[in-house]
């Protein structure tokens, strides 16, 4: 298949970016989207041009590094997949594909399609931990009775990979889905109760400090989340915050 690409190019954070157009021929429909970008970069390098910078790591849908905004959607047209799991068979011969970095004040562009998402790390560091007694009498986690429903909900919240698709999809660039998932995975378990009150306060305060927008419940974050994190987590976080 032959395709055309319209890709955001930006030399560095201080430079003004713009879209550049490229053409690729004989792309195998079974290629992943990132493999297609690899082909493009090989072509650019061969012609003496600078390759397109984009993030990637595991390429197995686990790390969430491959954050791209493709044809107006975070991670592209498929649901419940990251960009590395998106395949070229989802596009047609002759298509023009627009590729951008995630757009958010709190995710400044570093270069081309690479953004700085360390704001998520700082939010996690502000409260995403539990206190554990290490004096030798720590209770085995498996010995603590936890209702299966709570355990399942906590596990589902913990599935968040912090890719930032929720922020990119939100018209307000809100990080509420990410933060609520990180709050919920602890709030639902007895191990997370020691810090429960200050955890949610600290994480929300850090979220605001980073410059993320507010949630207006449009639901785009849940739709575009590759792990299907539920909006119910936001309701739980709000409850934790108000009762804290």
> Mean of the pLDDT values across residues 192-205?
95
Q: Report which of 209, 234, 15 is spatially closest to residue 109, judged by C-alpha positions.
A: 15
Beta strands in 17-154 (DSSP E): 18-24, 69-70, 73-74, 96-100, 109-111, 114-115
- The structural domains of the chain, with segments of one domain joined by +, span 3-104, 117-133+142-243
pLDDT tens for each residue of 113-172: 999 999 999 999 999 998 877 666 766 767 788 999 999 999 999 999 999 999 999 999
Give the separation between CA 96 and CA 167, rounded to whole angstroms: 25
pLDDT band, residue 204 (cuts 50/70/90) = very high
Rounded to the nearest integer, the mean pLDDT of the chain is: 95
pLDDT tens for each residue of 52-79: 999 999 999 999 999 999 999 999 999 9
Q: Are 185 and 232 in contact (CB under 8 A)?
A: no
> Mean of the pLDDT values across residues 31-43?
98
Residue 39: predicted pLDDT: 98
Residue 145: predicted pLDDT: 86
What's the half-sphere exposure (Cβ side, CA atoms, 13 Å) at 25?
0
Least confident interval from 10-19, 138-147, 188-197, 215-224: 138-147
pTM metric for this prediction? 0.93
Residue 142: predicted pLDDT: 74
Residue 125: predicted pLDDT: 97
Tokens of 151: 């355990």
DSSP bridge pairs for 3: 24
What architecture is domain 117-133+142-243? Orthogonal Bundle (1.10)
Residues in the chain, total: 244
- % of the chain at pLDDT higher than 70: 97
Residue 174: predicted pLDDT: 98
Fold annotation for 3-104 = Ubiquitin-like (UB roll) (3.10.20)
pLDDT band, residue 173 (cuts 50/70/90) = very high
Q: Which residues contact 172 (CB under 8 A, 6 or more apart)?
A: 213, 214, 215, 216
Residue 136: predicted pLDDT: 67
Q: Residue 27: how many CB atoms within 10 A of its CB?
A: 17
Residue 201 has pLDDT above 80, yes or no: yes
Tokens of 14: 């201080």
């Amino acid at each position: 298949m032959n395709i055309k690409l319209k890709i955001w190019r930006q030399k560095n954070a201080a430079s003004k970016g713009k879209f550049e157009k490229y053409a690729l021929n004989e792309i195998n429909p079974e290629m992943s989207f990132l493999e297609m970008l690899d082909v493009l970069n090989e072509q650019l390098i061969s012609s003496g041009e600078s390759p397109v910078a984009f993030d990637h790591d595991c390429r197995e849908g686990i790390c969430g590094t491959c954050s791209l905004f493709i044809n107006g959607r975070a991670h592209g047209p498929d649901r419940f997949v990251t960009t590395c799991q998106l395949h070229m068979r989802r596009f047609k011969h002759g298509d023009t594909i627009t590729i951008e970095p995630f757009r958010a004040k709190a995710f400044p562009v570093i270069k081309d399609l690479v953004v700085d998402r360390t704001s998520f790390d700082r939010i996690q560091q502000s409260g995403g931990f539990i206190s554990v007694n290490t004096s030798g009498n720590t209770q085995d986690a498996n010995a603590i009775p936890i209702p299966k429903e709570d355990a399942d909900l906590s596990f589902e919240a913990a599935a968040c990979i912090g890719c930032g698709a929720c922020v990119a999809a939100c018209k307000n660039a809100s990080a509420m889905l990410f933060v609520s998932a990180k709050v919920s995975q602890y709030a639902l378990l007895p191990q997370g109760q020691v810090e429960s009150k200050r955890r949610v306060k600290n994480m929300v305060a850090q979220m605001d400090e980073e410059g993320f927008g507010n949630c207006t419940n449009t639901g785009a974050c849940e739709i575009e989340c590759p792990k299907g994190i539920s909006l119910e987590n936001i309701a739980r976080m709000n409850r934790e915050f108000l009762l804290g």
